Amino acid sequence: MDKFRMIFQFFQSNQESFMNGICGIMALASTQMYSAFDFNCPCLPRYNLAYGLGILLVPPFILFLLGFVLNNNISMLAEEWRRPQGQRGKDPAVLRYMFCSMAQRAMIAPAVWVSVTLLDGKCITCAFCTSVPVETLGNTSHPRLSQGEMQRVLARIPCKEIYSGQELIANEVAVRYLRCISQALGWCFVLLMTMMAFLVRSLRPCFSQAAFLKSRYWSHYIDIERKLFDETCAEHARSFAKVCIQQFFEGMSTDLVSTRCHLPKKAPADPGEAAEKLLGITDQGTMNMALKSWHRCKPPLNLQPPALPTGNGWVEEGQPPMHPSVPRRETAAYYSWV
């Protein structure tokens, strides 16, 4: 349990670790889904190809979209891409970094599905069973069949219980031939994905490390800024609701006193703490205007340092800040001739 707790805490440490954990879980789920999937080839000439390629390509596309849906940064990326220019410019490099980061994580589960499917070989066997070279692997002395009859016989290769062309080509030979091709494609796909990941990880710092660090930093900043803004809005909403409820009950108590009802005495509540958190925004219209202003013109990323006091007061306007003098350190070096 302690190991699972440590792994869970690691996944919750930051946004990237959380998304890496989600992608790992999706990759494991894809393998479990394929192992639990009941593959039934239709064994018909015009449907085998569609069924086999559909099982090979459609679930990875769904898993790819699901990876984007489960990524919390997709809404942040869309918001940053669609927001007006305002007082803060939009950096295309940051948007590209966010999209590439999400796409790389979303590709993990589809890549696992394609790899497992190709290594298993059922989809390729079902899709391309009618393309088996009978002249090379089959019995050429068998009575010649028409093209349609040949396709119907070969289409039943994945269905061993209804296959009736043993004299033409053995079922085991055809299945082993297609499965070998499928496994070769699977290992090539795994090697290609591994080489691409290796090149991206190893060559990217050699060319654009500074730009990569800048994009990564501002991507983290946008994520943290959004979280802090949501927390601030939630805190303001809580304080706003608290003050509204207090004013409502105070008004009700005033009405009850006016009707000569005796209320129990209680210590007066201090609304000062809740009022301070309102930051001067005390009505719905002003709050809506503040939210629209945050979306339309976010403040520029330029924090001005406060003015520093001098010996007799504050620094005059237009004068550079004076830094306190640092005591000079003297060092002595001794040389000896040996």
308 against 88, higher pLDDT: 88
Looking up tokens 């805490």, which residue turns up?
9
* Amino acid at position 283, single letter: D
Q: Write out pLDDT tens, residues 172-227.
A: 999 999 999 999 999 999 999 999 988 887 877 777 778 888 888 988 888 888 88
pLDDT value of position 335? 40
pLDDT tens-digit series, residues 139-155: 766 667 788 888 888 89
Average pLDDT, the chain: 79
Spatial CB neighbours of 102, under 8 Å, sequence gap ≥ 6: 19, 67, 68, 71, 73, 74, 77
Average pLDDT over every residue of 304-310? 57
Segment 36-65, tens digit of pLDDT: 888 889 998 889 999 999 999 999 999 999
Phi-psi region of 121 (alpha: psi -120 to 50; beta: other; left: phi over 0): left
Mean pLDDT throughout 112-137?
90
* pLDDT value of position 183: 95
pLDDT-derived band at 115, boundaries 50, 70, 90: very high
86 compared with 334, residue with greater pLDDT? 86
Select the more confidently predicted residue: 49 or 89. Answer: 49
Q: At what angle do helices 171-258 and 108-120 cross, to 10 degrees?
A: 150
pLDDT-derived band at 104 (thresholds 50, 70, 90) equals: confident
Model confidence pLDDT, tens digit, residues 2-23: 655 565 555 555 556 666 677 7
- Write down the pLDDT at residue 317: 43
DSSP readout, 136-185?
HHS-TTSPP--HHHHHHHHTTSS-TTT---TTTS-HHHHHHHHHHHHHHH
